[in-house]
Chains A and B, each alone.
Chain A
């Protein structure tokens, strides 16, 4: 079964450092997402991306966050200056042709900010 892959699986970073989380979506998918889940909390939407631009973002996705798809395969989430409260599991997801199709999640990148 095709899968979404994410790297790193776990990263520890110091507060104020920049972090880049990488994702390789399923190859024929067109919609890409980042979600996050703080330990013990619900899965929260951050941003969706289609046709090389952001299609929707939540209020969590402020100026410290950015996304890009630099080479047509990788889909990255950058956090410019990490805060302690950015510690969470970050899930990448992709979807095939239309919104409402099955969304496939990667295994997640666990970010710990110290």
Chain B
């Protein structure tokens, strides 16, 4: 069973659309959760941490459901510059980050 699973996409959406990505993780001991963004052949960059209460950063909203071991990312009012691969990432305390394979988003005009 894969540790972190994501729908690979691609998600092709027009500018202004709302798009949601889902992620499930297998290790119930996971304690920290993140969404990273990765542009083609670039390094992963932290988009936002994900908290149990849910959190929002501008057009981005992240949700965590520990009971279902499920994480989501919602992007509202998509911009062309949002085109990238979005990586779901988890870890337990004191261990390395475990990455999902990523979901590719393509926003078109």
- Which A residues are within 8 Å of any B CB, using their own CB? 33, 35, 41-45, 48, 56, 58, 89, 91, 99-100, 102-103, 105-108, 110
Q: Is the CB of B45 within 8 A of A105?
A: yes
Partner pick for A45 among B31, B45, B98, CB 8 A cutoff: B98
Binary contact readout B40-53 vs A (1 if CB under 8 angstroms, 0 otherwise): 01111110000000
Q: Of the 9-residue stretches B15-23, B55-63, B76-84, B99-107, which lies at the interface with chain A? A: B99-107
**Size class of the B contact interface (CB-based, 8 Å):** 20 to 34
For the residues of A in contact with B, the DSSP-based class is: strand
14 A-B pairs, CB-CB below 8 angstroms? Answer: A33-B96, A42-B87, A42-B101, A48-B96, A56-B95, A89-B41, A91-B44, A99-B93, A100-B31, A100-B32, A102-B46, A103-B97, A105-B43, A105-B45
| Inter-chain contacts of A33 with B (CB < 8 A) | 96
Nearest B-chain residue to A110, judged by Cβ: B41
Q: B102's contact among A35, A42, A44, by CB below 8 Å, is which?
A: A42
Of A42, A58, A100, A110, the residue contacting B100 (CB under 8 A) is: A42
Contact (Cβ within 8 A) A56 B99: no
Given contacts A56-B96, A99-B94, A100-B32, contact A43 B46 (CB under 8 A): no
